[in-house]
């Protein structure tokens, strides 16, 4: 890129699943299968999609309120079993790599703030040939899960960036609430787990309906 416009944001933090990675439907299926395996009432697609972005145990507990806490370890193990079986079916959304390349060319720091585990994120980064693209990352097993703002607060401290110079991009209310609580601007994307009307009330600068639309907005505004 040859754009020399001053940057509005120094650090851009992305959610992973449903924002960069086209995994929403796979995760929904794995949650439903795991709950069924332990004898719980299988959540609807909408209920399973709602919890995407939360830390795994919190997400599964919310999706399966009738499953007793003593079954949470088994529930988590069954989710991981199903996800491993299906993970080769998921990939980056079309257009993500050019988007990231353009942001790096403009000198933005890039980070991931995700509800995945560190192991899960590392495997995804490796499978997507993205190692080295991101300057930092935070996972739910390393810090507080979303919507708690600690992920973003830690990233701000790491890069010594003020909240108004950090942009959080995500597909769920958990992502946007985290940004709001951290004092950071946000952008919502409606092609992931949560619909646009659920994101609007959390004050995103814009809601993008495709990766191409997100790319165009970031090139123009970030």
Q: Where are the domains of the chain?
A: 11-23+90-221, 24-89
pLDDT at res. 138: 97
Q: What is the pLDDT of residues 162-171, one digit of tens each?
A: 999 999 999 9
On whether the CB atoms of residues 13 and 152 are closer than 8 A, the answer is yes
User: Does pLDDT of 197 surpass 50?
Assistant: yes
Asked if 11-23+90-221 and 24-89 have one fold, the answer is: no
Picking from 90-94, 144-148, 207-211, which range would have the lowest pLDDT averaged per residue? 90-94
Joined tokens for residue 16: 């992973």
Is the separation of the CB atoms in 23 and 90 below 8 Å?
A: yes
The model's pLDDT over 105-144, given as tens digits with 9 standing for 90+, comes to: 999 999 999 999 999 899 888 866 787 899 999 999 999 9
Tokens of 123: 């495997």
Nearest Cα residue to 124 out of 116, 132, 113, 135? 116
CB-CB neighbours of 9 under 10 Å: 21
CA 151 to CA 30: how far, in whole Å? Answer: 25
pTM: 0.87
- Tell me the per-residue pLDDT of 72-83, one tens digit each, with 9 for 90 and over: 999 999 999 999
Buried/exposed 15-25: b ≥16 CB within 10 Å, e otherwise: bbbbbbbbbbb
Q: Is 9 in a helix, a strand, or coil?
A: coil
Spatial CA neighbour of 125 closest among 212, 14, 219, 24: 14
From CA 15, how far away is CA 19, in angstroms rounded?
6
- Could you tell me the pLDDT band of residue 1, with boundaries at 50, 70 and 90? very low
Q: What is the pLDDT of residue 123?
A: 86
In the sheet that holds 186-189, the strands lie side by side as: 136-139, 109-114, 11-14, 166-170, 186-189, 207-208
Q: What is the secondary structure of 134-163 as a DSSP string? A: -SEEEETTTSPPTTSTHHHHHHHHHHT--G
Give the model's pLDDT for residue 157: 98
What was the pLDDT predicted at 2? 45
C-alpha to C-alpha distance for 130 and 123, rounded to whole angstroms: 10
CATH placement of domain 24-89: 1.10.150
Q: Is the pLDDT of residue 210 over 70?
A: yes
In total, the chain counts a number of residues equal to 222
Residues contacting residue 62 through CB under 8 Å, at least 6 positions apart: 50, 51, 54
- As given in the structure block, the two tokens for residue 113 are 């703030």
User: Which secondary structure element, helix H or strand E, spans residue 164, and what is its range?
Assistant: none
Task: Supply the mean pLDDT for the chain.
Answer: 94
Q: Which fold, 11-23+90-221?
A: Rossmann fold (3.40.50)
């Amino acid at each position: 890129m040859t754009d020399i416009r001053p940057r509005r944001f120094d650090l851009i933090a992305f959610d992973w699943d449903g924002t960069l990675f086209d995994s929403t439907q796979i995760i929904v299926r794995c949650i439903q299968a795991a709950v069924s395996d332990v004898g719980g009432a299988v959540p609807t697609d909408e209920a399973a999609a709602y919890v995407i972005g939360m830390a795994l145990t919190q997400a599964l507990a919310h999706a399966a309120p009738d499953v007793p806490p003593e079954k949470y370890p088994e529930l988590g193990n069954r989710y991981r079993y199903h996800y491993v079986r299906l993970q080769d079916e998921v990939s980056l959304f079309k257009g993500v790599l050019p988007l990231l390349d353009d942001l790096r060319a403009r000198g933005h720091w890039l980070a991931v703030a995700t509800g995945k585990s560190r192991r899960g994120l590392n495997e995804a980064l490796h499978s997507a040939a993205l190692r080295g693209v991101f300057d930092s990352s935070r996972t739910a097993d390393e810090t507080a899960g979303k919507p708690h703002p600690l992920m973003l607060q830690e990233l701000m401290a790491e890069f010594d960036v003020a909240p108004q110079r950090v942009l959080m991009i995500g597909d769920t209310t958990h992502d946007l609430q985290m940004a709001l609580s951290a004092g950071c601007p946000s952008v919502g994307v409606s092609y992931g787990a949560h619909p646009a009307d659920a994101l609007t009330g959390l004050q995103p600068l814009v809601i993008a309906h495709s990766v191409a639309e997100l790319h165009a907005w970031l090139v123009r505004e970030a």
